[in-house]
Every structure is written in C-alpha cells, then in structure tokens.
Chain A
Amino acid sequence: MRKWIHRALKGASLTTALFIFQACYGTPPGPAQDVLEQDNATELIEETVAEEEPAAEETEQIVAE
C-alpha cells in the first residue's frame, strides 16, 4: 500500500517536485537523469574510447616507422 502511494504520488506531475531533493552537501538533482535515459550509456562510452584510442592500422604504422 505504501509503495503504491509512493508510486502514485511520484507519477503525478504536480507532485514530482517533492521527490526531487538535494542532500545538504551533495550535488543538485537535475536533467542529467533524462539525458541518461535517452543515451545508451554503453554506446556513449564505446564511442569515446574509440575516439581516444588509435586504430590498429595506425598503431602498426607507428611501430613500423
């Protein structure tokens, strides 16, 4: 019952502000969660890693030189 009330309140757009709290000395809650849900986190990380690491051919070329 309590969980049902919790979910019902959380789902109601007028009361979601109640659930957006901030620890006294913590960081703000915010839009980051929405971004996280839209992104595919794993893909994002793989893309970033791919950008940072040279391709295999490039590495071979550097070694050959």
Chain B
Amino acid sequence: MIGRLLHRAFRANETAVHELNYLFWECTTRCNLHCRHCGSDCFAASRDVDMPLEDFLRAFDTIPAEGRAKPFTVVLTGGEPLLRPDITEVGRALRSRGVSWGMVSNGWFYDEAMHRKLMDAGMGTLTISLDGLAESHDWMRGHPGSYARAERAIALAAAEGPRLAFDVVTCVNKRNFNELEALYARMKELGVPQWRIFTVIPIGRAADDPDMQLSDAEFTALMDFIAAKRAGPSQRAAGNYFPCSSSENQFPLRPSQRPHATGEARPMKVTFSCEGYLGRYEKQVRDVPYFCHAGVNIASVLIDGRICACPNIDRDVFSQGIIYQDNFYQVWEERFAPFRDRRWTRKGRCADCKVWRDCLGNGMHNWHGDCASVLNCHYAKIKG
C-alpha cells in the first residue's frame, strides 16, 4: 500500500512538472503494408503528403534549450518512416541539434545498406514489429514475405550492440496467441535484447475484426506467460547487449557486425507495454508501475501538423493545437489539460471503480469519440 501511495505522489509530481522527454513525429502516413490491426488506417497512397522536414524542425526549434530534457528522444512513426526518401537527412538534422532519434518500422526496407545509412545518421533507438511466426505475421501484415524482411531487420539491429537501443514489438491476437513460445525461442536465437508485447486497441481496422481481440481468459494467460518469462534469473541482466550466437540465425552476420563474439546466448527481457493498468500483475510483467505518460512526458506532431500526445490517441478529440498556427512549445507548456488532470475519466465504467486512483482511466488511447466510457479495461479482463 505504501508503495502505491508513493507512486501516486511521484506521478502527481511528474505530471505537474510535465517534462517533455519523448516526441513522436508522424512523418508519413504512407505504408507499403496493409496491416489488419492498423490504428492509423494507413495506405500505400495516403491522402496526406509527407510533412516537409523544415515544417517539423520549425516546430521542434520552439523548444528552448532548457526545455529539452535529458533524456529526450524524437521517434519517427507513420505509416512506414523508411518510405521517406530524406530519412537520413531527417536523422542528421536531429543529431545536429544534439537530439537522440529513432523509429518504429515494419522492417520491409531495412536491409544492410539501409541499416548502415541510418546508423551513420545517428539513429539511437529502433523498434521492429513482428506479429507471429511467418504465416501469422504475413497474414497480419497483408503481404507475403513480410516476415522474412522483418527478421532480416531484427538480425541486423540485434547485432549492432550498445549504440542502438532496440526491441521487437508483437501485437498479440487470437491468431498468434498459440505461437508465443515458438516466437520467444526464435527471438532469443536472433539475439533480440527486449521483446515488448501489446494487445490491439479496437480502433481503425481492428475495430471490426474478431480475430484481433483476445478473450479475458486469453489475456490473463498472456499475463501469466510474460510473468513466467520474467521470473527467470536471466531477466536481471536482460535488455543489455550480451553476446549473441548467430549460428542458428537465418541471416548469419559477418564477424565485424558482431559486437561480442563469444557465442554465449543473450538473455532477452520480456515486458508488457504500458497500455493499461494490470492490478495484481503490475509487478510481474513490467519493470515499473503503470503510468500513462501521454501528454505528461510525451507529445506528437501529427501528419497534418496537429499537436497531440501519442499518435494512437483520438486526434479529433484530444489534439491541442497545430504547428502551422501555434507555437509548439507554448502549446506543450500551457495546454494538454485533459492529459494532466484526468478526473474527467471518472465516468462510464470507471465511475465507481475502486482502483481508479492507480489507473486514472487507463491509457489515453482507450478514450475515443464521445469518450462516454473507456474502450478497454485491462483490470476487468484479469479480474474476470
């Protein structure tokens, strides 16, 4: 109980300070794949043109030096960021401002030449999506061969070593639920330092797809799976860059690509994403207690210039300004009230909830449209 009270106090303090540490840039909404769970509803030929780099930098440069916290990371998202022809120019512009940057990618265009170009442009952090073994992943991504491309990207990134903070994310659904053990084994073989698991929010294309949503029993079993994987002693060292055996990899790596070459298997950290409050599983599936940082430490510049928190939050409801009309940093400092005071979430299913003080209405991406009630209650799933 004391721990929970201290965490509430910590969260309240962080919210009041609202240091900006993490800035998403939705730099394109074009995508070469057609994923069943896409929250952005991206297409190959998006109706939105890519935002020019100069427009983003103009907004970014409103952040004064003292407002640029440490750590501070710009994350390129989309769409598929690698569809931007100027991706390395973007990276260099951010590095020249002393900022760490990274991206979330489906890995399709991530070959060795691309990897080197991105590293030379100072990329510091990377997430590759892998949604099951080959058949399930290709089904989910709507494109044959996408698993092989993603695995190639993973092998390259895993071999990079401590210069690149890297993880793999998996969106668990009914189709890949029974593949988790096999996927875990494969990612260990590939030398992945961290595997992050999340579930689907019923928005975008996923809203009407029954294969996307886990039942309550499946969700609870997923928590047990993660907890079991985290219980081993190797988890304490996991997430660091340990030697990786590439002998079993589909994409063998040159000795020069291996940061360490003793052939010892690398421990892999498994975590559940910070998408919702998990009650009794809180200490078992994450490193730190649940805290939705959207609008507290996280902002985004969306494809059309709107300023919001995480890009998967309902932008029509929660956008706080637009970079073409407002000063970005002023918006960050003076607006974002719905993110920093969440008492408004105490309605619908949350109205009489006894864990609301720890949950604060779950992740902000779970509030859409008229916001009459929360879309997803993780606590109810594990309670039932």
Contacts and interface: CB of A to CB of B under 8 A. Distances in A.
Contacts of B312: 24-25
Find the residue from A21, A25, A27, A35 having the highest chain B CB count within 10 A. Answer: A27
Q: For chain B, what secondary structure do more than half of its interface residues adopt (helix, strand, loop), or is it mixed?
A: mixed
B70 A33 contact: yes
A65 B10 CA distance: 69
Interface string B108-140: 000000000000111011110000000000000
Nearest to B271: A22
Contacts of B16: 2
B60 interface: no
A22 B96 CA distance: 24
Interface in A24-65: 24-33, 35-36, 41-42, 44-45, 48
A44 B95 contact: yes
Interface in B206-240: none
Interface of B: 10, 13-14, 16-17, 19, 21-22, 24, 70-71, 73, 75, 77, 92, 95-96, 98-100, 102-104, 120-122, 124-127, 162-167, 169, 194, 196, 198, 241, 273-275, 287-288, 291, 293-294, 297-298, 310-312, 363, 365
Nearest to B9: A5
B365 A41 contact: no
The 3 closest A-B pairs by CB, nearest first: A30-B165, A32-B124, A27-B102
Given A24-B198, A28-B165, 6 more contacts: A21-B22, A25-B312, A30-B125, A31-B241, A36-B98, A41-B95
Contacts of B13: 2, 5-6, 9
A7 to B, nearest CB: 9
A9 B126 contact: no
A24 B274 contact: yes
16 contacts: A18-B288, A20-B288, A21-B293, A21-B297, A22-B274, A23-B24, A23-B274, A25-B310, A26-B75, A27-B73, A27-B125, A28-B125, A33-B71, A36-B95, A41-B96, A45-B122
Contacts of A24: 198, 273-275, 310, 312, 363, 365
Contacts of B196: 22, 28
Given A6-B19, A22-B273, A33-B71, A27 B103 contact: yes
